Amino acid sequence: MVRALGAEKLVFTSSNSSIEQFAIAEAEGARLTIDDLHLLERLPRRATQTSLRINFGNSCSDNIIGGARSKFGMTPDQARQAAMQLKANGITSIGLHCMDSANHTDSTKKTREAIDLITFARQLVDEGGVDISSLNFGGGLGIPYRPNDTAFDVTDYALKIRAALTKYFYVIPDLSMECGRFITGPSGYLVTEVTGVYRKPHSVIGLNVSTAAMPRVSIYPNAYHHVSLPGAAGTELIPTDVVGSMCESMDKFCEARPLPMPHQGDLCLIHDVGAHCISMSNNYNGMLRPPEFLMDNSSIYMISRAESFQDVTSRFINMEVKENDKIVEKA
């Protein structure tokens, strides 16, 4: 997909990836990032650009990406060992990667994380004689999901990284980042229709889309996505749950959110879903994915159609039970 978009440089930041996945990424010319010593064995022989993902496990780490039981990264000691191994194997382009935390709008933590990586890289050069040619600061830059959240100060972040790089390196390594949410998040809206306004006796608004189309709200306990009901704006705010139609208690876009009361058929917008909507969606409870539209100034283009029942069943294999109780594929 990335090649099809016309990208010239690729990074493949892996987690528990297979020999086949590494081979495909290497054949496309990607820099391969591994996050465990064991994965050294899975690297293709021809791979010349390899990076090591480190989990520093310090105060910059959060509990989702970089905490004590994180599935990502190796310890700094393991990274040292892996770097020496890569050097011994003749890999000339060794890089380092770190993403220990996500979704911070205060840039201080992400800055410290990047500086940890830069100083560790310097140590490897000085103590291990390893030439570090690439640094990848991962993603994790936050966006202001809540109305009172501040925006991430990307200029301050960049200037502090530049200062650290020029302090520690004469020749600056290649730099890369993997920002997903920061780039795509604020550009995406889930556009829905109000299908019902209920009293249970608490107030509930039903939508024609379920969280299967936008699972982030069900996966992360504190996930907040702003909800707006333009047709009801200016009316009394009532603590309200906004739900889909799945038989699933977590099928809620928000709980007890002060919202104006819409009418059936009104428009309801869920904000900042660009990073975690269709790409995270699923068919749980038989839900079908909605279509996607691209808005370019005043033009709107459909860029993927709505999923159909046939799309979902097209992979099914029709089986039948024969008289001898054997299950076979239907002719």
Ligand X SMILES: Cc1ncc(COP(=O)(O)O)c(C=O)c1O
Quick one: which segment of 95-103, 123-131, 225-233, 282-290 binds ligand X (CB under 6 A)?
95-103
Taking the least distance from each CB to ligand X, the nearer of 103 and 210 is 103
Q: By C-alpha distance, which of 78, 203, 72, 197 is closest to 138?
A: 72
Q: Whole-angstrom Cα distance, residue 50 to residue 64?
A: 25
Helix or strand run (H / E) with residue 242: strand 237-243
Q: What's phi and psi for 199, nearest 5 deg?
A: -125, 120
- Which of 56, 182, 189, 253 touches ligand X by CB under 6 A? 182
- Which of 178, 248, 292, 307 touches ligand X by CB under 6 A? 178
Helix or strand run (H / E) with residue 135: strand 132-136
- Give least dist CB 52 to ligand X, A: 13
- Which of 125, 179, 197, 288 touches ligand X by CB under 6 A? 179
Angle between helices 107-128 and 154-168 (to 10 degrees): 20
Q: Pattern of binders to ligand X over 131-160, x per CB under 6 A?
A: -------xxxx-------------------
Q: Is 98 in the site for ligand X (CB under 6 A)?
A: no
- Which of 42, 181, 216, 257 touches ligand X by CB under 6 A? 181
Q: Whole-angstrom Cα distance, residue 271 to residue 274?
A: 8
Q: Is 95 in the site for ligand X (CB under 6 A)?
A: no
185 in Cβ contact with 272 (< 8 Å): yes
Max CA distance (Å), the chain = 78
How many other β-carbons are positioned within 10 Å of the β-carbon of residue 312?
14
Quick one: which segment of 96-104, 107-115, 206-214, 235-243 binds ligand X (CB under 6 A)?
96-104
Q: Pattern of binders to ligand X over 56-75, x per CB under 6 A?
A: ---------x----------
Taking the least distance from each CB to ligand X, the nearer of 35 and 241 is 35
Q: What is the DSSP letter of 54?
A: B
Q: Is 99 in the site for ligand X (CB under 6 A)?
A: yes
Question: How many chain residues are in contact with ligand X, going by CB under 6 A?
Answer: 15
281 in Cβ contact with 215 (< 8 Å): yes
How many other β-carbons are positioned within 10 Å of the β-carbon of residue 224?
17
Amino acid at the residue 309: F
Taking the least distance from each CB to ligand X, the nearer of 110 and 160 is 110
Q: Is 110 in the site for ligand X (CB under 6 A)?
A: no
74 in Cβ contact with 54 (< 8 Å): yes
Taking the least distance from each CB to ligand X, the nearer of 89 and 150 is 150
Quick one: which segment of 41-49, 174-182, 211-219, 311-319 binds ligand X (CB under 6 A)?
174-182
Q: Is 262 in the site for ligand X (CB under 6 A)?
A: no
Amino acid at the residue 176: S
Q: Which chain residues interact with ligand X by CB under 6 A?
A: 13, 65, 99, 102-103, 138-141, 178-182, 275
